[in-house]
Amino acid sequence: MPPPTIDQVCQLALSLPCSPVLLPRLIAALQASESSADEIAGIIKVDPGLAAATLRLANSAYFASGSPVENVSEAVMRLGQRELYRLAALALVGRWESSVGRGEAGDFCRHALCTAIAAEVLAEKLQRVDSQTAYTAGLICDIGKLAVAHACEDFRSAIRAHSAQHQCAWTAAEEAMLGYNYIQVGAKLLRMWNFPPVLAAVAEHFLNPAQAPVEALPLIMHVQAAKYVATSFGPGVGEEGFMFSLNEDLLLEWGFTPELLLETMPIVHERASARLREKLTHGAVSI
């Protein structure tokens, strides 16, 4: 039986009810200076689970100040755009992982979170790209893995065997067995979900930045450096996670020195631990 085509993989992913399709709308609303708390709340309330998570976080011990908030608009005001976006992005990506199912519950979300935070921290340090955009790019750069796992699970052992036999990267093994790889699937999905073009470009080129469009290169280099940081210490790294190569010359050219990457690791670990607590190392991630 032949594997599904890349179009079939994407159609299967698009039919899942828990996709991150709400994120582009939320990104646009949060970036628009004229957006009100009620308008942002209106987007969040489209997803009851996300609305409940927003209220829960706003009333948590960390954010609570005075009387409890009782509606999403008040929660938006209390949390602020930065924290609200982190919550929404991780909740939507994490829930899609649960719906698709892949490996140990939460592994994809854990690694995605570490990559996102690493990209955010590096952006804060170098001040060359927006830190929230870097966070988003790190969070969704591997999203194609979930779609491929959902549609092509029966071919995973063949992909693994090919990678081991030929000592090749996981993406090359996927192309040999499927005719495409998770990078291509992820970029195609992000475009179909109407994500900003720069984020789709990151998903398509972060492993091969030399082929990337010039306008996306700053963000792509942050994500490649972030992937190294997250893979070096982070939990949730799958068997294919170590099978990628860095463009060391470009990383150095953009200022991602070994010293900077080492300096970033404990900060990323601290932020990821604060977000996930005991879920950082095991168990399904629920936001």
Residues in the chain predicted with pLDDT less than 50, given as ranges, are 105
- Tell me the pLDDT tens digit for each residue of 182-212: 999 999 999 998 888 999 999 999 988 888 9
Burial of 209 (0-12, 13-18, 19+ CB in 10 A): buried
What is the model's pLDDT at position 240?
58
What is the model's pLDDT at position 92?
74
Dihedral of alpha carbons 144, 13, 215, 123, sign:
negative
- Tell me the pLDDT tens digit for each residue of 21-50: 788 888 888 777 788 888 888 888 877 777
What is the model's pLDDT at position 22?
80
Crossing angle between the packed helical segments 48-58 and 72-100, to the nearest 10 degrees: 120
DSSP-derived secondary structure for 199-231: HHHHHHHTT-GGGS-GGGHHHHHHHHHHHHHHH
Q: Which secondary-structure segment (H or E) carries 175? A: helix 170-178
CATH architecture of 6-280: Orthogonal Bundle (1.10)
Q: Model's pTM, two decimal places? A: 0.82
| Cβ pair 50, 92 in contact under 8 A | yes
